C-alpha cells in the first residue's frame, strides 16, 4: 500500500498508522514552529570544559566528580586520564543561548515554488511550497543584451516527467 506524503504531518500519520507501538513526535513544522528547542551547548560547555580530543577512539569511560575522565579504547586496554574541568565546581545551572532555525534561503524557497509545488496536493501547496516573500534573483546565463534584436528568444522546453522506478527501486 502506498501513501501520498506532502508534509511533515503526513509523515507522522504514516508512522502512527504503521504500528500500534509507533508514536511520531515532530520537532517542528513547515511554518517554522519549533516544538523541541535547540541550544548552543558547544559554546556554553566550552567555557567550563576542555575539548576531549580523539574521543571517538575510546569505548570505555569512567567519570569522577573532580572533572577527571578515565578512558580506555577497549575494556582490557591501559587507562588514560584526562582532566576536562577548566574551572572549579559548581557549574551554573543556566541554559545556553537558544539556537533558532534559519529557515530556507531565497534560492531554495524559489526552487520549491517553481520545481516542487506542482507535485504537492493542492490543499498543501501553500504550506510546503508557498510563494516566497522576496523576488527571485536572476539566474546566470545570457543576458537580454546578448540576444540580437532580430532573434526571437525561444521559450524553454516543456518539463518532462521522469518515469518512476519499480516497487523495489530497480528499473523494470
State residue 152's pLDDT score. 59
Q: What's the predicted TM-score (pTM) here?
A: 0.56
Give the number of other Cβ atoms within 10 Å of residue 125's Cβ. Answer: 18
Q: What is the pLDDT of residues 20-53, one digit of tens each?
A: 999 999 999 888 899 999 999 999 989 888 998 8
Biggest distance spanned by C-alpha atoms of the chain: 82
Per-block mean pLDDT, blocks of 10 residues, the chain (172 long): 91 94 92 92 90 93 90 96 86 90 93 96 95 86 55 66 58 50
State residue 122's pLDDT score. 96
Grid coordinates of 159: 518539463
DSSP state of 99: E
Grid coordinates of 57: 577512539
DSSP state of 116: I
Give φ, ψ of 103 to 5 degrees: 80, 180
Give the number of other Cβ atoms within 10 Å of residue 46's Cβ. Answer: 13
Domain spans of the chain, in order of start: 8-37+100-137, 41-96
By C-alpha distance, which of 77, 85, 46 is closest to 61?
A: 77
State residue 76's pLDDT score. 96
Going by C-beta distance under 8 Å and a sequence separation of 6 or more, which residues neighbour residue 79? 70, 71, 72
Please tell me the distance from the alpha carbon of residue 101 to that of residue 28, in angstroms, as a whole number.
10
Amino acid at each position: 500500500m502506498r501513501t501520498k506524503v506532502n508534509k511533515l504531518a503526513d509523515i507522522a500519520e504514516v508512522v502512527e498508522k504503521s504500528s500500534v507501538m509507533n508514536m511520531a513526535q515532530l520537532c517542528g513544522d513547515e511554518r517554522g514552529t519549533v516544538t523541541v528547542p535547540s541550544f548552543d551547548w558547544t559554546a556554553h560547555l566550552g567555557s567550563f570544559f576542555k575539548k576531549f580530543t580523539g574521543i571517538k577512539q575510546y569505548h570505555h569511560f569512567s567519570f569522577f566528580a573532580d572533572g577527571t575522565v578515565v578512558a580506555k579504547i577497549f575494556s582490557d586496554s591501559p587507562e588514560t586520564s584526562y582532566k576536562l574541568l577548566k574551572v572549579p565546581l559548581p557549574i551554573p545551572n543556566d541554559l545556553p543561548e537558544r539556537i533558532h532555525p534559519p529557515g530556507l534561503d531565497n534560492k531554495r524557497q524559489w526552487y520549491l515554488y517553481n520545481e516542487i509545488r506542482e507535485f504537492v496536493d493542492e490543499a498543501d501547496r501553500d504550506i510546503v511550497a508557498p510563494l516566497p516573500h522576496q523576488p527571485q534573483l536572476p539566474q546566470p546565463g545570457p543576458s537580454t543584451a546578448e540576444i540580437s534584436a532580430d532573434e526571437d528568444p525561444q521559450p524553454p522546453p516543456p518539463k518532462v516527467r521522469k518515469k518512476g522506478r519499480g516497487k523495489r527501486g530497480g528499473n523494470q
